[in-house]
A and B are shown apart, each in its own frame.
Chain A
Amino acid sequence: MPHIMIRIFRQMFHDKRSLALLLIAPLFVLTLLYFILGDSGYKPKIAVYKVPEQISESLAKTCTIKTLSKPLSHKNLFLKSNHYDGYIYLNKNNLSVYLLEKNETTAKVLTSFSSPQKNVSSKAADYHVSYAYSSDSTNKLNSYGFVFLGILSFFFVFILSGIAFVSEKNTQTLERMLMSPLSRLSVILGYTLGYGVLCMLQSSIMILFCAYVLHLTFRGSILLCMLIMTFMSFASVETGMLLSLFADNDFQMIQFIPIIVIPQIFFSGLISIDSIPFHLGNLKYITPAYYACFALKHVMVYQDGFSAILPYLSGLFCYIVVFYFLNVLALKKYRIL
């Protein structure tokens, strides 16, 4: 078993390009996400007609306002052709808000629109919103850091271990190895530890990069985050290996990516699991991303300690053990004993 581990390290050391991809590619994607999910300072463009001055002034703080002299007859056409995000106008005695589409930009209009309302209406409507856990950062990667860390780690490790194992099959090195007295348990353990340790290194670099270069908020312990990512790496290695045993070539392995990786995104916390209908949310228990991302959320957002993430780590551990034995069983296809 140690021979397989050492051989994997040697292979990686000689294959500089793969090593660079393993260590640098996730950092590149994280950097890209950091900039894409950042706040560009864009102000929504709003056309207003007969809107009370108090509201207009309040809107002007977050939006670019154009006051119209007459009402719009073709609202949709005007907004589209003039690149406006919305139109606010007085319709009889009610204020109407007409937005081009439902997206993040127009949500900004509604936020700025709701705030002046409290000033014009009764005191009972005067409210103040505060969050138990929020960040001063305007970068959305800060809010969803736990999701992207978990998913990216799973994605890269899954591809690496899966393709590596398919290649072992195609070059008949796996066959040659299985013709030796090594047990199937040792072969899978060797691969798990070999790729697992490499991927552990990768995820630790990802965490450190997010904490010290991108300055994402880590309220809890960075070491605990690394521990979670380590568990996630081993879970991804096992998943990648198992699927590669059923893929005859790299092309088939690539086709497993959407089937396996996309469901991980659904249960990572990006979409509210409670709102998934038909009890499909319960599928989260079979996705490693659920355990890893929610454990990361507990540490990164809620500042929880080891006891809070223990159930998630236990879930990941069970997943690793089950998939380890499934791999050992699947290897029976290549050697009886």
Chain B
Amino acid sequence: MTLVYLVELYELNSKAKQEKIATFVMREDFPGNVSIEGNHDHPVVVAIKGEGVFDYKYAKPNKLFPWDGMVFLENLKYHFRSGYLLATDIQKKTIDI
């Protein structure tokens, strides 16, 4: 059994209906890596991987990327807050490996 932390990212389509873009997953036993489940070619996912997200929580000037682990996950909900894009809080789940 392994504990995983995950954040879901949603976008609104042109009819104002939410669609999931991706799920960001970090295993507790691999804290330095967040994997992305979803369409890696989606422009928002491409932008996240390429440009990173801002560190709102700790107000550090550097950008955060999936390899930053938990701090990256923690900041997704602050980065994606407009409604057009909206991230969930970190959820915990136990999975069988």
A and B co-occur in one complex? no
